[in-house]
Chain A
């Protein structure tokens, strides 16, 4: 049995046969040899390999400056890496290195296949546009030219992220931090992406709001089965959401494995330090 089954998630997709899914399936997202430097000397990400299977939640933990947010920005095709390959195992994109695509093609991938939630809502939202407009923008980019359809889709996406619908036409700047994250989440899932990237989605929220946003994230992930990569320095968040975890330090992966395994029995000295600091 796979770890996905052990967590009691995605029960219908667990084949009772003895072959684990991770062996039979190809990973949905594959990254090979990712290198990202800033200004020549700073190596933010150093030869990173990464695989995420369909329906899985991968957690990335590490201290500030370990390169985890850079990984997400590069995976969202916002920044070009210095080298590396990035594959999506979907029928349309199989065998294409996404890093090598031209800008319009990358934009299509970013629009249709990837959703992202940033820690800072100013990065993910247009503060001068209404909340529903922020979601509509994504659908417009995808080619929707019907006003009523845009309204309905924005409403659906906001409802799915448990946003109070009577405030859907308020400016995000007038919303609380938790609501802003819900708008970002609605924007991210509006087009039913294959990959959801969460960059410290609940950092900066107070504990009770954090718990409610995490509940929403967990429920959405369970219902849609969207493949997710979540970056956080909060091991509690990782423990709650992630199936597998990757520990990064100075742009390198120091340890990876099942979440419970890594957090209960860390092997690498840095991970041990991290876990003890938290617990």
Chain B
């Protein structure tokens, strides 16, 4: 085990993993509280970072307060490891904490992500940190934040159900795409950050810990391992994930993974799996390289791994 003295930055102006010890301790305490009350938004003092608010500062602070020298970090932006934002954050964490980085979801111990959960099932040794722009699921129906907090306190979520009702009346289907509100552990309704509906079931009874952090809004909340997460749905109108049947990935030929749509100049459309780390591994295996691909949440026929969860 390295000692604190060894871990301390040689430059006395900086502490390990950029944030000062006091800030990290505060955030860890908030995280413990968030884990103790699944889905409850815990306020914290969001610190200044050398990136702008709205670029993942919430997730980054959680990552920096949890990361240790033995961790392996993966950073995802909309499923991709190679976008500017993901590359920036990954390099920052690696430089400030001296950790190894990876694009393989199963090798990582700490995954910071924007908008996606990997296709491979995460395991107990892993922590997923999601960047959240707007932590308040009630914001669209109750703009007064103090009233919204009362509604949370009294578990009065009728307005969210009313919104579903209105969408069914007007459009005959639920039009919520990302940030689909879900009930955590039968108590609090949370906004699962702007992950697509496709990823919401992955949170249900997941083996990994999920932390959701909003830097601008200064709120952190959590889904502990093996916790019930249920999207809001009427008894006779079941929750549906995005319908991508018949979409085939242009790199791997796979179906039933979450796809990005690529409009072509001629008017046609190509599709590619949004999880680039997964695509990398599939391609490597097709070239006879030694890679281990874990079990995925959705199998090749599009069935979710927990029977009966998606009706």
Interface size class of A (residues with CB under 8 A): 10 to 19
Known: A129-B166, A132-B169, A169-B169. A141 touches B156 (CB 8 A): yes
- Which A residue sits closest to B155, measured CB to CB? A104
Cα–Cα distance between A148 and B234 once the two chains are bound (Å): 9
Interface readout for A168-190 with B: 1 if CB under 8 Å, 0 if not?
A: 01000000000000000000000
Which residue from chain A places its CB closest to the CB of B233 in the assembled complex? A145
Q: Please state if B161 and A130 are interface contacts (CB–CB under 8 Å).
A: no
Contact with B along A132-154 (1 / 0, CB 8 A): 11001100110001111010000
Residue in B closest to A130 when the chains form the complex, CB atoms: B169
* Chain B contact surface mostly: helix
On chain A, the residues within 8 Å of B23 by CB distance are none
**Residue from the list A103, A107, A140, A141 in contact with B165, Cβ < 8 A:** A140
**Pick the contact of A103 from B154, B159, B168, B235 — CB < 8 Å?**
B154
Q: What's the dominant secondary structure at chain A's contact region?
A: helix
Q: Is the CB of A147 within 8 A of B168?
A: yes
Considering the complex, give the chain A residue whose CB is closest to the CB of B157.
Answer: A140
CB of B51 within 8 Å of the partner chain: no
Q: Are B236 and A147 in contact (CB under 8 A)?
A: yes
Q: What is the minimal beta-carbon distance from A148 to any residue of chain B, in angstroms?
A: 5
Residues from 117 to 160 in B contacting A, C-beta threshold 8 Å: 150, 154, 156, 158-159
Measured CB to CB, the nearest residue on chain B to A137 is B162
Contacting residues of chain B (196-236) with chain A, CB-CB under 8 angstroms = 234-236
CB distance from B181 to the nearest CB of A (A): 14
A29 to chain B, nearest CB (A): 25
Question: In the assembly, what is the distance between CA of A136 and CA of B150, in Å?
Answer: 21
Query: Which of A133, A137, A141, A148 contacts B169 (CB under 8 A)?
Result: A133
Within the complex, the shortest CB–CB distance from B148 to chain A, in Å, comes to 15
**Residues of the A chain whose Cβ atoms lie less than 8 Å from the Cβ of B154:** 103-104, 107
B301 contacts the other chain (CB 8 A) = no
Q: Is B5 an interface residue (CB 8 A)?
A: no
Q: B161, A145: Cβ atoms under 8 Å?
A: yes
- Chain B hits for A140, CB < 8 A: 158, 161-162, 165
User: Smallest distance from the beta carbon of B253 to chain A beta carbons, Å?
Assistant: 39
Interface string of B55-76 (1 = CB under 8 A from A): 0000000000000000000000
> In the complex, what's the smallest C-beta–C-beta distance from A80 to chain B, in angstroms?
15
The verdict on B237 contacting chain A, using a C-beta distance below 8 Å, is yes
Give the interface centre of B154, B156, B159, B234 by most chain A CB atoms within 10 Å.
Answer: B234
Given A107-B154, A130-B169; A146-B235 close (CB under 8 Å): yes
B159, closest chain A residue (CB) = A137
From A126, which residue of chain B is reached at the shortest CB distance?
A: B162
Evaluate whether A141 and B236 lie within 8 angstroms (CB atoms) in the complex, with A129-B166, A130-B169 already known.
no
Residues of B within 8 A of A103 (CB): 150, 154
Q: Beta-carbon contacts of A91-112 to B below 8 Å, as 1s and 0s?
A: 0000000000001100100000
For B161, the chain A residues whose CB sits under 8 A away are: 140, 145
Q: Do A136 and B162 contact each other (CB < 8 Å), given the known contacts A107-B156, A130-B169? A: yes
A104 to B234, CA, bound (A): 23
Q: Are B156 and A147 in contact (CB under 8 A)?
A: no
> What are 17 inter-chain pairs, A to B, with CB distance below 8 A?
A103-B150, A104-B154, A104-B156, A129-B166, A130-B166, A130-B170, A136-B162, A136-B165, A137-B159, A140-B158, A145-B161, A145-B235, A146-B234, A146-B236, A147-B235, A147-B236, A150-B165
Binding site for B on A (CB under 8 A): 103-104, 107, 126, 129-130, 132-133, 136-137, 140-141, 145-148, 150, 169
Query: Which 8 pairs between the two chains have the least Cβ-Cβ distance?
Result: A147-B234, A146-B235, A140-B158, A141-B158, A140-B161, A137-B162, A147-B237, A104-B154
